[in-house]
Amino acid sequence: MSVDSGTVVLVTGGTGLVGKAIQHIIETDDKCPDEKWIFISSKDADLTNAEQTKLLFERHKPTHVIHLAAMVGGLFRNLKYNLDFLRLNLQINDNILQTSYLFGVKKVVSCLSTCIFPDKTSYPIDETMVHSGPPHDSNFGYSYAKRMIDIQNRAYNQQHNCNFTAVIPTNVFGAHDNFSIEDGHVLPGLMHKIYIAKKNKTPFTVWGTGSPLRQFIYSLDLARLFIWTLREYNETDPIILSVDESDEISIKQAAEMIAEAMDFKGEIVYDASKADGQFKKTASNTKLRKYLPDLKFTPIKQAIKETCDWFVTNYEAARK
């Protein structure tokens, strides 16, 4: 296929958790012959730089973009660097959307997060509530930068008729995650901690009380939904990509599942002196279910086991 004859999908942040999952699905069970997929990382271009972003688009001439690139981190990294999260993500997002418009890209799907929703809100949260109050203090920089993607999508659609949209996944995990104990998200951080605790025969310490509730979505399930969104979803308004409300579990339950998956027989300790973050962020997937009523998600225990197995097998090379 020549670049001119079909669809060219550029995936920014293509070597991260979600990008790798999309690549896996495209290469194994969802390849369309008239689609060319290009997965790029920060090594290919500095997306905070408008000129480098334009050069990237000139090189690959994408017809479609999945925009995953972002400065990301867990609770403790967000608390330290709110300004950096705000400025760098605003720059990246503006460059991608403006360059997509200038190059006539047919569709852009950007990635938001449930952590951008108002801190004080009713549950479950849905797509109409993104801007209905300030986000949690812990990550306001990242949250406001991500919220602006939705504002920009609407403005590009209104002024230029661009087909720009966004998805809002709940807590994603899987192979190729960042397993850093300091800067990673909760599940990969716990997996790394338990790996060390098992190796050193020490207790497994969970930061916080273990009581907060989360909806976790397996990266391979999310990847399939990203591909569906790119091909089939044509609203400008964002869509929440989440497991059902009934699939929400506590951090304590997640820690116990990880302990089981990694065959950890030692003591589990909860350090209540560490911050819990938001108690819950329950999201409604009613809109998604209207489009895909029969959608099946990978069972959480199976997904955690597969991720733990990947991490143990790839420990030396894994981001941590």
The bridge status of strand 213-214 relative to strand 249-250 is antiparallel
What angle separates helix 219-232 from helix 17-28, to the nearest 10 degrees?
A: 70
CA distances in angstroms from 156 to 48, 90, 101, 110, listed in the order given: 20, 16, 8, 13
Q: Which of 81, 123, 142, 156 is catalytic?
A: 142
CA 178 to mean position of chain CA atoms: 12
Phi then psi dihedrals of residue 278, to 5 deg: -60, 140
Would residue 233 show up in a list of annotated catalytic residues for this protein? no
Q: Please give the positions annotated as active site.
A: 142
